[in-house]
């Protein structure tokens, strides 16, 4: 007999209880404290490898803001991150674990690239509009595919969307190896750069995607907070039974929301291909779909906060590349710091909702004796 899996009769050292909701102000303090702690932890790590953390942090800020060009670069990084975070927000609000942002970005990019590549002779604005629509349809359908399997057969959406990411990724590899291969690239498998007519215009030195980003932030906020459909998403997310009881057609809401979620990611893919890269490569998403999930979660699915945090993450990203060239530390420190920050935030969430209760002192004669002594 193996008794070790069973508990002893003793009460555990501490237990977890739910607590009353903290006020908004308290929650903000908790989060700021978590960020502060994570910067300290990151600093200790930098210190451990023999660099000066303050210098690294200053270098990061400096690298992101030191010139107009650097700042434009930061904004350019912010666009795809913010947009795809908005995309997964819709799905997450519904508690549909869409890990497929990466694949939906890629599919949006593929669909948009088709028009940018083969119809570059169209009127510029018409072409841009068609590319945008293509991106929406591409990303949306890829999201819809997972939602369809979910409502039809209750397929695990986390795992399915994860797999679809890689199916989409290797589709790009296929396209650049065979049908869309640039014959002028001397045998190197890549897709040709787009014609200048098929490249998105710049506004204030950055691709026009930042305008789309700002519009989407407001649109998603209004959609979630003010529209009937947004309310339906929230109800389905809280409890599908309640939603059904209230007469909400749950399956329809899931399908519709996942299409929109994928579509927004598709817009991101379109902007990356047509706006930033001017071509389609396997790096079109480059992990943004995963980082977007972190951003969305960090912001409690709040669109306004997503804009802010995406920008801060972009500062980290851009600044880290400068740290690499200036201080000989890898730009991967951005990923490390992002990870640490989220670990601390995730832990702080706990203290917002729960608290520990320590084991009460056992009623042994000892305290009584103490009392007598007093």
Partner 1 sequence: MEMFMKFLVAAIVAGTPLLFGTVGEILSEKVGHLNLGVEGMMALGACAGFMVGYLTDNLVLALVAAFGAGLLGALIYGVLTVTFLANQNVTGLTLTIFGQGLSNFIGYFMLENSESGTLKLPAQITAQMADVHIPVLSDLPVVGPLLFQYNPFVYLAIAIALVCAYYLFRTKTGLNVQAIGENPGAADAASIQVNRWKYFNILLGGGICGLGGAYCSMIINGGVWLADSTGGLGWIAVALVIFAAWKPQMAIFGSFVFGGLRVLKYYVPSNVINIPIAFYDMLPFLITALVLVISSMRKSTSSRIPGSLGVNYFREER
Nearest one of 244, 255, 236 to 93, comparing CA atoms? 236
**Contacts with partner 1 in 265-284 (CB under 8 A)?**
none
x/- string (CB under 8 A) for partner 1, residues 82-121?
A: ---------------x-x----------------------
- Asked whether position 10 contacts partner 1 by CB under 8 A, the answer is no
Q: Using CA atoms, how far apart are residues 32 and 38, in angstroms rounded to an integer?
A: 10
Q: Where are the alpha helices (DSSP H) in 275-332?
A: 288-298, 303-327
**Contacts with partner 1 in 293-332 (CB under 8 A)?**
293-294, 297, 328-330, 332
Q: For residues 300 and 89, is the Cβ–Cβ distance under 8 A?
A: no
* Beta-carbon contacts of residue 92 (< 8 Å; ≥ 6 apart): 98, 293, 296, 297, 301
- Over the Cα atoms of the chain, what is R_g? 25
Structure tokens at 158: 């986390």
* Beta-carbon contacts of residue 66 (< 8 Å; ≥ 6 apart): 322
**Contacts with partner 1 in 215-274 (CB under 8 A)?**
none
**Contacts with partner 1 in 50-89 (CB under 8 A)?**
none
Q: Using CA atoms, how far apart are residues 109 and 142, in angstroms rounded to an integer?
A: 12
Residue bearing tokens 């028009």: 115
State in angstroms the smallest separation of the CB of 15 from partner 1.
Answer: 8
State in angstroms the smallest separation of the CB of 374 from partner 1.
Answer: 36
**Contacts with partner 1 in 146-175 (CB under 8 A)?**
149, 153-156, 158-160, 162-167, 170-171, 173-174
> How long, in residues, is the chain?
374
- Asked whether position 202 contacts partner 1 by CB under 8 A, the answer is no
- Asked whether position 287 contacts partner 1 by CB under 8 A, the answer is yes
Q: Which residues bind partner 1 (CB under 8 A)?
A: 1-2, 4-7, 15-18, 49, 97, 99, 149, 153-156, 158-160, 162-167, 170-171, 173-174, 177-178, 287, 290-291, 293-294, 297, 328-330, 332-336, 338-340, 342-343, 346-347, 349-350, 353-354
């Amino acid at each position: 007999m193996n008794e070790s899996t069973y508990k002893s009769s003793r009460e555990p050292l501490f237990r977890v209880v739910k607590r009353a909701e903290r006020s908004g102000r308290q929650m903000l303090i908790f989060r700021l404290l978590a960020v502060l702690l994570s910067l300290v932890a990151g600093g200790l790590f930098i210190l451990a490898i023999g660099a000066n953390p303050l210098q690294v942090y200053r270098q990061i800020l400096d690298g992101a803001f030191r010139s107009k060009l650097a700042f434009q670069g930061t904004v350019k990084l912010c666009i795809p991150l913010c947009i795809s975070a908005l995309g997964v927000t819709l799905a997450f609000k519904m508690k549909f674990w869409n890990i497929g942002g990466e694949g939906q970005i890629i599919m949006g990019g593929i669909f948009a690239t088709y028009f940018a590549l083969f119809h570059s002779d169209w009127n510029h604005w018409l072409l841009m509009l068609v590319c945008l629509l293509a991106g929406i349809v591409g990303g949306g359908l890829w999201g819809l595919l997972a939602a369809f399997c979910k409502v039809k057969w209750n397929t695990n959406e986390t795992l399915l969307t994860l797999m679809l990411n890689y199916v989409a990724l290797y589709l790009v590899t296929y396209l650049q190896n065979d049908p869309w291969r640039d014959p002028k690239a001397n045998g190197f498998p890549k897709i040709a750069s787009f014609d200048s007519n098929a490249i998105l215009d710049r506004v204030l030195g950055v691709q026009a995607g930042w305008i789309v980003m700002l519009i989407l932030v407001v649109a998603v906020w209004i959609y979630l907070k003010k529209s009937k459909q947004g309310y339906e998403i929230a109800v389905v997310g809280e409890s599908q039974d309640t939603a059904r009881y209230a007469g909400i057609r749950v399956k329809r809401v899931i399908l519709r929301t996942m299409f929109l979620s994928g579509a927004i990611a598709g817009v991101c893919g379109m902007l990356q291909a047509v706006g930033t890269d001017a071509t389609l490569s396997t790096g079109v998403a480059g992990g943004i779909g995963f980082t977007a999930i972190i951003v969305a979660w960090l912001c409690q699915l709040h669109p306004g906060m997503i804009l802010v945090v995406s920008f801060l993450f972009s500062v980290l990203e851009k600044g880290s590349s400068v740290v690499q060239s200036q201080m000989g530390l890898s730009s991967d420190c951005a990923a490390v710091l992002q990870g640490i920050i989220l670990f601390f935030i995730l832990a702080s969430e706990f203290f917002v909702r729960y608290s520990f209760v320590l084991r009460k002192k056992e009623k042994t004669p000892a305290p009584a004796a103490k009392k007598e002594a007093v």
